[in-house]
């Protein structure tokens, strides 16, 4: 059975692409099975073009802590995903839930924008047998909180020649392998101007958490002269090693870019004062 879903918000005639997926309920395993097949005509979602799309699938209210999202399809405005996701939920509970598809355009150097979405009220569908759905995508101007970020505090004490980095907390950490919440720790390397590692330190591990809180101070002995040339490489690592243990990295110092450079300069200009800033994590 093919079902055509159209939101009441789309009556103005503006088209932002379509999402194609299948839904069914597995009564044997008590799972909602979502098959994300493809999206079409995503180029109309953004005036800057739509290059590297992926789709995040959520059942609201949430039934577990697992993140479900497709792989990124590079350089494509008509991506074919063909990926299946399962939500453990009883059939009776489904009537009170909505299924949300968020369409992202991946950007390695800035926040991923939620540029489109499809929201399905489960009470409107009969999924006792498999149904196929074509749904119009609604444009969204919301900025994604999908990008992992870390809150760091920097301070420098000239009289002692001590550089202190306090790892406060991180948000939106997800294992790229399993999409589960990772067992994360933070590794910090003090690196010279010629990229030689001078000293390495790390935090404790926080298990099974997407928004871990550390509040741990890591100190390095650095002279004022060396401070002009060194930088800190901050890496968040998943303790469950797999194929991609690295969850994200940022660089603070003169080799850093954007916020990393701004944070470092603020520390240098205000010695003995702790300055905290958020930093996006990149792989």
Reported as a single tens digit per residue, the pLDDT across 104-156 is 887 644 455 567 889 999 998 999 999 999 999 987 755 555 678 899 999 99
Tokens matching residue 173: 């950490």
Tokens 């590794």 belong to which residue?
187
Domains 2-6+13-139 and 149-280 agree in fold: yes
Phi-psi region of 30 (alpha: psi -120 to 50; beta: other; left: phi over 0): left
How far is CA 76 from its chain centroid?
20
CA angle 46, 52, 53 (to 5 degrees): 75
**What is the third-level CATH fold of 149-280?**
Immunoglobulin-like (2.60.40)
Enumerate the β-bridge partners of residue 94.
none
Count the residues in the chain: 283
pLDDT mean over 172-195: 82
Please say whether the beta carbons of 206 and 185 come within 8 A. yes
Domain definitions of the chain by residue range:
2-6+13-139, 149-280
Read off φ and ψ for residue 187, nearest 5 degrees: -110, 130
| Of the options 1.10.1200.120, 3.40.50.300, 1.10.10.1200, 2.60.40.150, the CATH number for the domain spanning 2-6+13-139 | 2.60.40.150
Mean pLDDT for 179-184 is 82
**With 0-12 CB in 10 A as exposed, 13-18 as middle and 19+ as buried, what is 24?**
middle
Whole-Å CA distances, 177 to 2, 21, 52, 69, 200: 33, 23, 19, 11, 26
- Whole-angstrom distance, CA of residue 199 vs CA of residue 188: 8
Distance CA 167, CA 160 (A): 21
Q: Tell me what pLDDT residue 113 has.
A: 58
Decide if pLDDT at 14 tops 60: no
Closest CA to 181 of 206, 204, 147: 206
Q: Residue 253: in which H helix or E strand, if any? A: strand 246-253
2: Cβ contacts below 8 Å, ≥ 6 apart: 131, 132, 133, 134
What rounded mean pLDDT belongs to the chain? 85
DSSP 8-state class, residue 282:
B
Arithmetic mean of pLDDT, 265-282: 90
Q: 């404790």: which residue's tokens?
A: 204
- Find residue 253's DSSP bridge partners: 231
254 by Cβ neighbours in 10 Å (0-12 / 13-18 / 19+) ranks as middle
Q: Which of 85-89, 102-106, 125-129, 192-196 has the lowest mean pLDDT?
A: 192-196
- Inter-residue contact 268 to 256 (CB < 8 Å): no
């Amino acid at each position: 059975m093919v079902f055509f879903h159209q939101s009441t918000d789309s009556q103005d005639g503006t088209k932002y692409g379509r999402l194609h997926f299948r839904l069914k309920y597995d009564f044997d395993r008590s799972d909602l099975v979502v098959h994300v097949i493809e999206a079409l005509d995503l180029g109309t979602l953004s005036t800057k073009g739509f290059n590297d799309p992926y789709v995040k699938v959520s059942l609201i209210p949430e039934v577990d802590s697992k993140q479900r999202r497709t792989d990124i399809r590079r350089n494509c405005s008509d991506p074919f995903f063909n990926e299946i996701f399962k939500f453990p939920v009883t059939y009776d509970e489904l009537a009170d839930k909505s299924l949300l598809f968020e369409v992202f355009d991946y950007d390695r150097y800035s926040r991923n924008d939620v540029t489109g979405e499809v929201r399905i009220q489960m009470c409107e569908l009969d999924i006792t047998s498999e149904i196929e759905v074509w749904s119009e995508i609604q444009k969204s101007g919301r900025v994604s909180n999908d990008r992992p970020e870390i809150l760091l505090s920097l301070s420098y004490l000239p009289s002692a020649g001590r550089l202190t980095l306090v790892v406060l907390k991180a948000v939106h950490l997800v294992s790229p392998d399993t999409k589960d919440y990772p067992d994360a720790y933070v590794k910090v390397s003090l690196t010279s101007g010629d990229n030689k590692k001078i000293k390495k330190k790390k935090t404790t591990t926080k298990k099974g958490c997407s928004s871990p809180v550390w509040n741990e101070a890591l100190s390095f002995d650095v002279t004022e002269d060396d401070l002009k040339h060194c930088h800190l490489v901050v890496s968040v690592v998943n303790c469950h090693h797999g194929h991609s243990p690295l969850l994200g990295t940022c660089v603070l110092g003169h080799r850093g870019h954007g916020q990393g450079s701004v944070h470092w300069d603020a520390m240098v200009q205000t010695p003995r004062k702790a300055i905290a800033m958020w930093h996006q994590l990149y792989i």
